[in-house]
Amino acid sequence: MSVLQIPGVANIRDVGGIAAGTSRVREGVLFRSGNLAHLTPEGDGMLRARVRRVIDLRDDGEVSAEPSMLRDVPTTRVPLFIGSVASFFAEDVSLAGMYRHLVDDATPRLIDAIRVIAAGDPTLVHCTVGKDRTGVTVALALSAVGADREQVVADYALTASQLPEARTRSVVRYLQSRHPDARNAIDLATASPAPVMRDLLAGIERQHGSVARYLREGGLTDAELDALGRALVE
């Protein structure tokens, strides 16, 4: 995986290079990031040179508050959360609980996002900070084509170190003031611990046999899974 420097975009990287069986994930095909609301004109040109399609996993309120500044790249909206982001903080849901919510309750939307990736165009997946919705979507896509588990987990875990420090400090202060008794709020906003993603993927395998089978049971066809493999794996 390669961390990129695109002016105005945080937490952006190319997940290419991750081992997948005897091969590896292609470079220049699947990217992940935080939102594109602060993309500069220079960053716009750099990103348009790499990306042909965008998947925006945010809800309507998030998009309205921070609209994308990327020009002339087709964007597919796939709001993953059923309900608002704020509800997870209000209910003090854990990271593991939030990810299980996505896997259990948002399967059709996850599959919609993965279908876009399977089309084979160089694709950027993003949400607000590129941690949770993006992390789960990318981990499922990679795992479905046989990407190395520990490298997939390492890609997810990298996010916490890529979030802007000033933003993290500001978010922590805000959450401490609004949710002083919450146990999980700061982790929800800032953390990407490897064991959480490792356990999520292992749980899917225990329940469904494999991530690929989970996606099949959710409606992804064998032809679409084959296309995903051709798109992502060299």
pLDDT at 108: 96
pLDDT at 10: 93
Q: What is the pLDDT of residue 151?
A: 98
Q: For residue 189, what pLDDT is reported?
A: 79
Closest CA to 196 of 155, 156, 145: 156
Q: Provide CATH code, domain 2-232.
A: 3.90.190.10
Task: Please report, in tens digits, the pLDDT of each residue of the chain (234 residues total).
Answer: 799 999 999 999 999 999 999 999 999 999 999 999 999 999 999 999 999 999 999 999 999 999 999 999 999 999 998 766 767 766 788 899 999 999 999 999 999 999 999 999 999 999 989 999 999 999 999 999 999 999 999 999 999 999 877 777 776 676 666 657 667 777 777 889 999 999 999 999 999 999 999 999 999 999 999 999 999 999
Q: What is the pLDDT of residue 207?
A: 97
> In the prediction, which pLDDT does 141 show?
98
Buried b (16+ CB within 10 A) or exposed e, 11-36: bbbbbbebebeeebbbeebbbbbbbb
Q: What is the pLDDT of residue 170?
A: 72
Total H helices, total E strands in the chain:
13, 8
Q: 28's torsion region: left (phi>0), alpha (psi -120 to 50) or beta? A: left
Contact between 208 and 214 (Cβ < 8 Å):
yes
Catalogue the active-site residues.
127
CB 70 within 8 A of CB 55: no
pLDDT, residue 24, reads 98
Residue-level pLDDT at 133: 95
CA 179, 181, 183, 186 torsion-angle sign: positive
- Tokens 């309205």 identify what position? 64
Angle (deg, nearest 10), helices 95-105 and 194-208: 30
Q: What is the pLDDT of residue 1?
A: 78
Q: What is the pLDDT of residue 186?
A: 77
Residues 77 and 108 sit within 8 Å (Cβ to Cβ):
no
Cβ(151)–Cβ(45) below 8 Å: no
